[in-house]
Amino acid sequence: MNIIAHRGFSANYPENTIIAFQEAAKLDVWGVEFDVHLTKDNQLVVIHDEKINRTSNGKGFVKDMTLQELRAFDFGASFASEFAGQTIPTLTEVLNIFKPTHHIINIEIKSDIFEYPGIEALIANEIHAFDLEKRVIISSFNHESIARFQQIMPNVKTALLFASLVVNLEEYVKNFKSDAIHIPYYYGMRSIIQRAIKNGVIVRAYTVNDEKMASQMEALGVEAVFSDVVKI
Ligand code: G3P
Ligand code: CA
């Protein structure tokens, strides 16, 4: 089964940190996934939540702080004391880690709570600067953000993220000129997955941390699963 290391090697290392990505880069997995937000001074940073509260020793919204202000906080110690000193990574730093590897790079644009005007163009510039157009998949729960990205960079693959069911799924996906959907696995009922695949939609499922479920997904024709554990 194709595995995508979710937020880096996040089962064993603090999610979305440099150490989690360095360790994911050593794994023989298909890809890596991470989440991107925009700082107050328009810098692309890799973090899951809109706020830094859960994963750092700081408090507040990413959008309200500059990169320099964010760099003052520790993003490793709350996972385990041995990882103290990890700081919030920039998109540039993470792409530097994966540029020399074989991994598919799934960049999730976290523009579903805050719009982050201009984030799509900034991400496109980075992909172009690293010459990674062929290895990147852009995804987002904000499908308007996907459409904006497609306008800017039509040659890069995209995927629509879903947290719940939509009617006429295949038609909806085609309207967004995307060839793939990323769906939660517990919601990935047999019939929906099979119908989507039959209609030419690529399906990837999150977040799958057990072997049995990964095998079931593979048998259904799911292309890849997002996993924290990554050693399925
Ligand atoms: O992209 C799959 C998955 O990462 C989406 O959910 O909340 O982990 O970003 P979340
Ligand atoms: Ca994500």
Angle at alpha carbon of residue 204, lines to 202 and 210, rounded to 5°: 150
> What pLDDT score was predicted for residue 170?
85
Question: Could you tell me if residue 104 is inside a domain?
Answer: yes
Question: Could you tell me if residue 57 is inside a domain?
Answer: yes
* Pocket test residue of 6, 10, 139 for ligand 1, highest count of atoms within 8 A of CB: 6
* Pocket test residue of 111, 207, 225 for ligand 1, highest count of atoms within 8 A of CB: 207
Is position 37 annotated as part of the catalytic site? Answer: no
Question: Could you tell me if residue 69 is inside a domain?
Answer: yes
ipTM, two decimals, is: 0.98
Question: Could you tell me if residue 58 is inside a domain?
Answer: yes
Number of domains in the chain: 1
Question: Could you tell me if residue 187 is inside a domain?
Answer: yes
Question: Could you tell me if residue 51 is inside a domain?
Answer: yes
108 lines ligand 1 (CB under 6 A): yes
Is position 48 annotated as part of the catalytic site? Answer: yes
Q: Pick out the chain residues at pLDDT < 50.
A: none
Question: Could you tell me if residue 183 is inside a domain?
Answer: yes
Closest protein CA for atom 7 of ligand 1: 48
> What pLDDT score was predicted for residue 188?
60
CATH (domain of 149): 3.20.20.190
CA of 206 to the centre of ligand 2 (A): 9
Domain hosting 194: range is 2-227
Question: Could you tell me if residue 232 is inside a domain?
Answer: no
Residue pLDDT, tens place only, 115-132: 999 999 999 999 999 999
Residues with CB under 5 A from ligand 2 (ion): 35, 108
Report the nearest atom of ligand 1 relative to the CA of 35: 9
> What pLDDT score was predicted for residue 187?
58
